[in-house]
Amino acid sequence: MQVTDLVTPALIVEADTLDQNLSTMAKALPGSRLRPHIKAHKCTELAKRQAELGSRGFTCATIREMEGMAAAGLGDDLLLANEVVDARRLGALDARVTVAVDSPETIAAAEAGGVREVLIDVNVGLPRCGCRPDDAARLADLARSRGLEVRGVMGYEGHLMMVDDGAERAERVAESMSDLVRAHERVGGGILSAGGTGTFDCNLAATEIQAGSYALMDTAYDHLQLPFEPALFILATVISVSEKFAVADCGLKSMGMDHGNPRIDGAKVWFCSDEHVTFSSHSPSEAPAAPVRVGDRIRVVPAHVDPTIAYHERLHIVSGEDVIDSWPVDLRGW
């Protein structure tokens, strides 16, 4: 199949760039040093490539992701890095399941649901889940008293992923992790799980890094000079052209908008509607540009990969003009 045969809008992934991103990370964080987060791609076929490169443990954000990974034979060591108040579907999985807990209620849920292993989730500065560092040991004791195995701690320094300056980022990550290290000393267990694509090389405290975005990359990371390149694009078809603007058939239902408008190289994006993107039909500088014509295929770069993929049924893997594979986005929903 050729790229021109795809029904648009369609997600296309550059095979070479994906391979390069995956192997670069596997070399930097071999084996159990990396616990890839699969929430960004939601695709077991892509996770299988990560497994082939040495990752046996994976990170998930939802129960559905955990179920899909287990069903795909990738259940050697699955971490749900998120809190749940009903863990019964997790307890029923034919997989090694660890769940994050940060309260007596989530510990009770793990026990009641038949989950055997937990990590104590510690807040390291991002206003989201996680207990206070001082409460970690108490929660670990509680979990053990309920018969749960406490494998260690986790904490996500998400508020530091986008710190521009590398040295400052490293310094602030170390500071953030010092809380987690102290909690870990009191909690025990072999795991200190943390980090992400923005801190994969400067989080030196973690025993494992939960990076996910590196595989397909987000434009939000552009300024960080990371060794990963954007691999995901939305293929769209130009359906209408006027004197000043043109319209292609991808819109709000084919891309996440929390980071703003997508990018179209050589054009200025005016706005998005449900199924349309309106963009300048001439380059922003108004210099002569290749005219856009009805029927042209264009590449649109989404501002945020994760909520973009969650709208789509498939990732089409392309090499030049060939579609060499088509992978279901099989971990959507909850």
Q: Which DSSP string do the residues of 24-58 spell out, in sequence order?
A: HHHHHS-GGGB--B-TTT--HHHHHHHHHTT--EE
Q: Does 27 bind a second copy (CB under 8 A)?
A: no
Q: Does 84 bind a second copy (CB under 8 A)?
A: yes
CA dist 309 and 11 (Å) reads 8
Q: Which of 68, 75, 113, 130 binds a second copy (CB under 8 A)?
A: 130
Alpha carbon 276 to chain centroid, angstroms: 25
Q: Does 82 bind a second copy (CB under 8 A)?
A: yes
Q: Which DSSP string do the residues of 265-308 spell out, in sequence order?
A: TTS-EEEE-SS-EEEESS-TT----PPP-TT-EEEEB-S-HHHH
Q: Does 256 bind a second copy (CB under 8 A)?
A: yes
Q: Does 9 bind a second copy (CB under 8 A)?
A: yes
Nearest to a second copy of 6, 231 (CB atom) = 6
**Nearest distance from residue 54's CB to a second copy, in Å?**
25
Q: Which of 94, 164, 258, 321 binds a second copy (CB under 8 A)?
A: 258
CA dist 195 and 161 (Å) reads 9
Phi (first) and psi of residue 175, to 5 degrees: -65, -45
Q: Does 286 bind a second copy (CB under 8 A)?
A: no
**Nearest distance from residue 328's CB to a second copy, in Å?**
12
3-state DSSP assignment of residue 12: strand
Per the DSSP assignment, residues forming a β-bridge with 57 are 77
Subset of 194-233 contacting a second copy (CB under 8 A): none
**Nearest distance from residue 117's CB to a second copy, in Å?**
19
Check if the beta carbon of residue 310 is closer than 8 Å to that of residue 254: no
Q: Does 147 bind a second copy (CB under 8 A)?
A: no
Q: Does 112 bind a second copy (CB under 8 A)?
A: no
DSSP state of 5: G
Q: Does 333 bind a second copy (CB under 8 A)?
A: yes
CA dist 119 and 98 (Å) reads 7
Q: Which of 85, 162, 204, 324 binds a second copy (CB under 8 A)?
A: 85
Q: Does 281 bind a second copy (CB under 8 A)?
A: no
Nearest to a second copy of 102, 208 (CB atom) = 102
Residues contributing to the site for a second copy (CB under 8 A) = 7-10, 39, 61-63, 82-85, 102-103, 105-106, 123, 127-130, 132, 158, 237, 239-242, 244-245, 247, 249, 252-254, 256-258, 270-276, 278, 293-295, 304, 306-307, 310-313, 333-334
